[in-house]
Amino acid sequence: MQNHLELLCDLSELNWIFNESQSIDLFLAKLVDMVAGHMQTTVCSLYLYEEEQRELRLKATHGLKAGAVGVVRMLEGQGLTGTALAEKRTIVAAKASLHPAYKFFGGLNEELYEAFMAVPILRGINKIGVIVLQREEEKPFSQAEVTVTQTIASQLANIIENVRLLGHIERRSDAVNISKPKIELALVHGQSASQGLVKGRALVLRRYQDLSEYLAEMPLKGLTLNDFHECVKKTEVQLEMIQSEVEAQLSDVASLIFSAHLLMLKDSSLLAKIETLIAQGSSPGAAIVETADFYISHFSRVEDHYIREKADDVRDLALRLLRNLSGPQDDLGDLGDKVVIADQLLPSDILKLSHEKILGIVLVSGGVTSHVALLARSLGIPLVIADEPQLLALDRNSFVLLDATIGNVYVNPAPSVIEIFTKKQQEVEIDEAEIAELTMTRDGEKVFLYSNINLLSDLKMANRYRAQGIGLYRSEIPFLVRSDFPSEAEQFLVYQRLAAGMPGKPLVFRTLDIGGDKVLSYYHHEKEENPFMGMRSIRFSLGHKDIFARQLRAVMRACAESDLRIMFPMVSSLEEFLEARQVLYDCQQELKAEGEKFCQAPKIGIMVEIPAVVDILDDLAGEADFFSIGTNDLIQYLLAVDRTNEKVASFYVPHHPAVLRTLKRIMQSASRHNVPVSICGEMASREIYLPFLLGIGVRNLSLDPVFLPRIKKACAAINLPEAKTVAQKLLRLSSIKEIEKLLG
């Protein structure tokens, strides 16, 4: 038996049966036969999970009736097999019929075999299916057999995940080599970062694209120096027009985001170099590429991060010049029907793509709470984060369905899938007339829903969905996409429009929160090994009080007539809060001396996001006017998980017992001192957490405006006494799996 176990642990045997199979269905049939033989079991069955139906379907079996394959289904959580998947744990029973989760399924003859083992097949946090072994009661399964079956399940996860579509495995005509996979992607599971449903052609964007390869594909023969001059004029007019349009739409962040390109076009040395090469016999296209490569190489070698980023500006300008040289034949400039797939995008890239009217974005790296994701939401661009590098190899003719409501990417789907998808698009349309002005629970308790504002353009949606104020303005966004720190005057204009967007309603202004994943390209500082623990947020502001004061002065002037609340992010001590508040008081004295009109009594609060603060909240409550819980960072620091790192995404668990109990402690402390509290992190936009949050006393939630309708609806279905009971039960649980089961 031991030799068989060792052989089964060797991936080479799986390789062999996979290579010899002409289809996935045949591979699965051979697999269950092989496992049954090695494990000396009468039955080996494989069930695959269909996510949309939340069902398991029998896909292959050795020992049960062959006619049951593809027919037998069970709900997630139903029976021993469904329970193993729902709870993501192996279930072993010496006598299956006596197990409390047992459910009889007729027509399989499995009641003849009492010794039972079900092992879930998981890929990260994604559920793939279950492998089930059964035999006579006299031969129960040993721990060694459990270990081997779990090894098989882990090896199967990647194979099956890469080839399944809508819960079923498509038949393939070519054999697949595991050591050198030739996977035809069909369905990729990711995480929703900005909701929406779109369909269109894929366009893979590579930030470090070889310009020579691009040139080789372009129809640029027979062009002259005059053609180049016309191209430059066309490009300059184009950039100025784009800048003007973007400025009108997004004036808070769009201040000359194309300025680098325009400046280079006006650089006589760059143009002269291209013209010289053309005069020496180079084609205009080749001259552009050679000149661009020269500058890219030069900038890339410089240690200064800001200058190195200029290489991307040169590349972007060169690509635009080449497209304009090629004329109307080239369709790369038209992104109106494209779903962009990229491995990396900067906030400024998102703004540019928005102007090009792309349909959606798939990022193969990053996190759902990144500022790229926040910008995508504000701009209404559906975005999925998917850890699947093979997406970057998709052909330009690939047709993609992007379901960013659940995080799925469908590649070249069948007509039936497109039909289902189109119906879903129609179903998610929101009837704005049905959105209530006030948010009430089922038993008549008020819940106050505020809007997070990333861009000024969010104000329109926030008002349309009847937000009761601004619960979080992320003031760092205008800083992120600029080439220098904005002046007080520039900030004043932005904040003035912000205040005008919701007159008479509360406006919670978070001071500059940079650092971690929010890097300013123009801020020159030493590289930090762990930027999330470094010079960020309020630490940065207190270390640069001139920048801090400019922002405070601008917002108090702009919001002179507003219900202004100013909060400081990442506060870790009473001293930090008091120091930051003193800077604000000093600014008020200056403004008063200057005769400026300003908000003289803004409420001043803190973001609760560092665990150390939880133990000193009673002290802070004597000084701060309000608390706002930033669950994204609070969870990150409580659980020691970098929330932007997809490799540890499964460890970022908002319902971890430590998180739930910490939230309860915060609410208790605030209640003792009668300090208002709001939740402004991702948890506020997740219906699954609403009963718990309301049950521990939360009544103020701030979320991105796109989520307002569904959270209003979810609140209306909640009865507060029931929510309090649920919260009490959750707080008593110590296991993540138990909590997940109760949350449903």
Residue positions annotated with a catalytic role: 371, 680
CA separation for the pair 60, 58 (Å, rounded): 6
Q: What share of the chain is helix, strand, coil (3-state, %, to 5)?
A: 50, 15, 35
Say which residue the tokens 């409580």 belong to.
638
Amino acid 179 reads S
Q: What is the rounded CA–CA span in Å between residue 249 and residue 530?
A: 36
Q: What is the dihedral of CA 619, 620, 625, 630, to 10 degrees?
A: -140
Q: How far apart are CA 197 and CA 609, in angstroms?
A: 33
Q: Residue 47: phi, psi to the nearest 5?
A: -110, 135
DSSP 6-53: HHHT-HHHHHHHHHH-SSHHHHHHHHHHHHHHHHT-SEEEEEEEETTT
- Alpha-carbon distance values, 582 to 297, 542, 548, 585 (Å): 47, 11, 12, 5
Compute the distance between CA of residue 256 and CA of residue 263 in angstroms, rounded to an integer: 11
Residue 458 identity (one-letter amino acid): D
| Residue closest to 103 by CA, chosen among 75, 79, 123 | 79
- Residue keyed to tokens 């069909």: 186
Residues facing 123 on adjacent strands: 126
What lies within 8 Å, CB to CB, of 209 at 6+ separation is 315, 319
Instruction: Read off the tokens for 509.
Output: 């202004």
Determine the Cα–Cα distance for residues 306 and 36; give it in Å rounded to an integer. 60
DSSP-assigned states of every residue in 528-590: PSSGGGSS-THHHHHH-HHHHHHHHHHHHHHTTTSEEEEEETT--SHHHHHHHHHHHHHHHHH
Contact between 366 and 646 (Cβ < 8 Å): yes
Helix/strand/coil (H, E, C) string of 224-273?
CHHHHHHHHHHHHHHHHHHHHHHHHHCCCCCCCCCHHHHHHHCCHHHHHH
| Chain length of the chain | 744
- How many Å apart are CA 103 and CA 266, to the nearest integer? 75
3-state secondary structure of 620: helix
Residue from 651, 679, 650, 680 nearest 667 by CA: 679
